Amino acid sequence: MAEVGDVIEAENARWRFSGAASRQFDSHIARSIPFYRETHQLILNISDFFVQDNAVVYDIGCATGQLLAALAERHAGREASFTGVDCEVDMVAQARKLTAHLPGVAVEHADARESPLSDADLIVSCYTMQFIAPRDRQAVFDRIYAGLNWGGGFLMFEKVRAPDARFQDMITSLYHDFKLEQGYSGGEIVAKTRSLKGVLEPFSREGNLGLLERAGFVDTMTVFKYLCFEGFLAIK
C-alpha cells in the first residue's frame, strides 16, 4: 500500500472508491481535478434548460451525493425526481444520508452497466465513464441515449487523452504541476498514477465523441475544457 494523498492508501493497479477513499472523496477530488467545484456549478446552471416540472434526472456515479443534492435543492418545488446511481456501498450510504431530507431523491446501489434509465430529461455523468471498462462503455452510452426523452440532455465530464504523444506529454506535465501546487508530494502523485493503472481508462475527445455518435447523438458540444479535462453536452 502507498499513500496517494488525503489519508488515502492504494495498491498498484488497485484503486478503490471504498473505505478511506469514500470518506475523503469530496476533498480529494476537489484537490485533484481543476475547477471541480466550478464544474458542479456549471452543471447546475445547464440543468435549468432541462429540469422542468415532473422532470426525471439521473446522476450516474453519484459518489457521496453532493451534486445530486445540489440538483434537487436547485429545483425544489418542481416535483421532479432525482436518482443517484453508484456501485460502491460506502458511497451509496453517504449519499443516502446526505439526501435523506430531500423529497424526490433516491440513491440506488447499482452498476451503471445495468441500472435502469428511462424517461429521463437529464442524465449527468461527472468523471464516471472513464472508470467503465472500454469493452462495456459503448453499451452504457447506448443505454443512456435510449433512456432519454426526446430533447433530453446528457452532461458528461471526463478526463481525456491528448491527440498525440507530444501534446500528451505537455498536458501530463502541466497536470502534475497542478497537483504539486495543491500540496501533493511527488511520491503521492506517482502512487496515485500507479494505483489507477487499468482502472482509469480515459478516451480522447474524438473517442468520446465517437461513443456519443454511435449511441445516436447528433447534437453535441463542448461546454468545458481545461488541460486533460473536458465537459460535453449531448442532446437527443
Q: CA 139 to CA 231: how far, in whole Å? A: 20
In the chain, how many domains are there? 2
pLDDT at site 27: 84
Q: Same domain for 89 and 180?
A: no
Q: CA 47 to CA 157: how far, in whole Å? A: 14
For residue 30, give the amino acid letter: A
Distances, alpha carbon 22 to alpha carbons 2, 207, 231, in Å: 17, 29, 23
Q: Same domain for 74 and 184?
A: no
Q: Same domain for 125 and 183?
A: no
Q: Same domain for 171 and 212?
A: no
Q: Same domain for 27 and 113?
A: no
Whether residue 7 has pLDDT greater than 60: no
Confidence of residue 23 (pLDDT cuts 50, 70, 90): confident
Q: Same domain for 116 and 228?
A: yes
pLDDT at site 2: 56
pLDDT in tens, 180-209: 999 999 988 888 888 888 889 999 999 999
Whether residue 4 has pLDDT greater than 70: no
Q: CA 158 to CA 125: how far, in whole Å? A: 8
pLDDT in tens, 110-120: 998 888 899 99
Please state the pTM of the whole predicted model: 0.94
Q: Same domain for 98 and 211?
A: yes
Q: Same domain for 174 and 84?
A: no
Tell the residue number behind the cell numbers 458528461, with chain if given: 156
CATH assignment of the domain containing 107: 3.40.50.150
192, β-bridge pairs? none
Mean pLDDT, to the nearest integer, of 166-176? 97
Q: Same domain for 124 and 227?
A: yes
Q: Same domain for 113 and 182?
A: no
Mean pLDDT, to the nearest integer, of 100-122? 94
Average confidence score pLDDT of the chain? 92
Q: Same domain for 148 and 108?
A: yes
For residue 110, the enclosing domain spans: 37-161+202-235
Q: Same domain for 65 and 124?
A: yes
